[in-house]
């Protein structure tokens, strides 16, 4: 008896649930804002000619480090299927230059110089 009441209640049109729409007016706004986060790894190419150098430097090695990006997303709604986005982003990164050299006694020594950069 209880089972038949439950089954009949589900088929009753008066007991239909309304369909809920999440943020149904969100896409009607003209401008939307947000942010973006990301990771990067920056490097660069070096052409070194140590034969003309007067120092004891025997080599230079570039070691990229992990960095991150932080940006703001600006979205202008121009039409049903057409948006214009502007995403300015700051990129923070670092590379380490490792200088290999020989000291006066002929021992190897290493010197690390960080090269920090911020790009827009």
pLDDT digits (tens, 9 = 90+) for 85-101: 999 999 999 999 888 88
Q: Can you spell out the DSSP letters for 18-56?
A: PPP-TTTTGGG-SEEEEEEEEEEE--------GGG-SS-
pLDDT tens digits, residue range 14-43? 666 778 888 888 888 899 999 999 999 988
Q: What is the pTM of this model?
A: 0.61
Contacts of 11 (CB under 8 A, 6+ apart): none
Q: Is the pLDDT of residue 7 over 60?
A: no
């Amino acid at each position: 008896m209880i089972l038949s009441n439950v089954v009949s209640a589900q088929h009753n049109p008066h007991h239909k649930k309304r369909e809920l729409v999440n943020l149904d007016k969100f896409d009607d706004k003209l401008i939307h804002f947000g942010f973006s986060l990301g990771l990067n790894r920056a490097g660069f190419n070096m052409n070194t000619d140590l034969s003309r150098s007067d120092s004891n430097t025997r080599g230079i090695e570039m070691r990229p480090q992990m960095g991150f990006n932080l940006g703001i997303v600006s979205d202008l709604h121009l039409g049903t299927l057409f948006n214009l986005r502007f995403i300015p982003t700051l990129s923070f990164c670092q590379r380490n230059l490792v200088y290999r050299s020989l000291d006066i006694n002929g021992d190897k020594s290493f010197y690390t110089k960080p090269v920090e950069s911020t790009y827009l």
